[in-house]
């Protein structure tokens, strides 16, 4: 099983749609979770951290399900500018060790 696994997509959705991505992780003891966004030919950028109780930032909602070992990202009212690759990121090995990045889910929002 891969440490961090995502559906690569692409997800093609119309503007205004709601879209959700899931990501599974292998280590039940993982403590830190993040979603990053990467635009074409750019660096990954932190979108949001994922907290145990779930958290929201505008149109974006992140949730953690420890029992099933997955995190999710929900985007409401999709904009054209949301088109990007979304990377699921987990501190798999715990402590002060590098984050492990999924390969990303590609989203295209279409007018």
Which positions touch other proteins (CB under 8 A)?
A: 31-32, 34, 36, 41-46, 49, 87, 89, 91, 94-99, 101-104
**Which of these, 55, 35, 56, lies nearest to 45 by C-alpha position?**
35
Q: Which is nearer to other proteins, 83 or 104 (CB)?
A: 104
Give me the least distance between CB of 40 and other proteins, in Å please.
Answer: 11
CA distance 81 to 83: 5
Q: Which is nearer to other proteins, 18 or 32 (CB)?
A: 32
What does the block give as tokens for 76?
Answer: 């409401």
**Locus of tokens 């997509």:** 9
Q: Which is nearer to other proteins, 14 or 98 (CB)?
A: 98
Can you tell me whether residue 82 is helix, strand or coil? Answer: helix
Give me the least distance between CB of 83 and other proteins, in Å please.
Answer: 18
DSSP 26: S
């Amino acid at each position: 099983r891969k440490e961090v696994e995502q559906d690569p997509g692409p997800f093609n959705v119309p503007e205004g749609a709601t879209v959700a991505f899931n990501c599974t992780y292998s280590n039940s003891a993982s403590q830190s979770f993040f979603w990053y966004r990467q635009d074409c030919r750019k660096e990954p950028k932190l979108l949001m951290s994922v907290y145990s109780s779930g958290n929201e930032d505008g149109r974006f909602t992140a949730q953690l399900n420890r029992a099933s070992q997955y995190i999710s990202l929900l985007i409401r009212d999709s904009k054209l500018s949301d088109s990007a690759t979304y990377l699921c990121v987990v501190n798999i090995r715990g402590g002060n060790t590098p984050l492990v990045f999924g390969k990303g889910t590609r989203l295209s929002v279409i007018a």
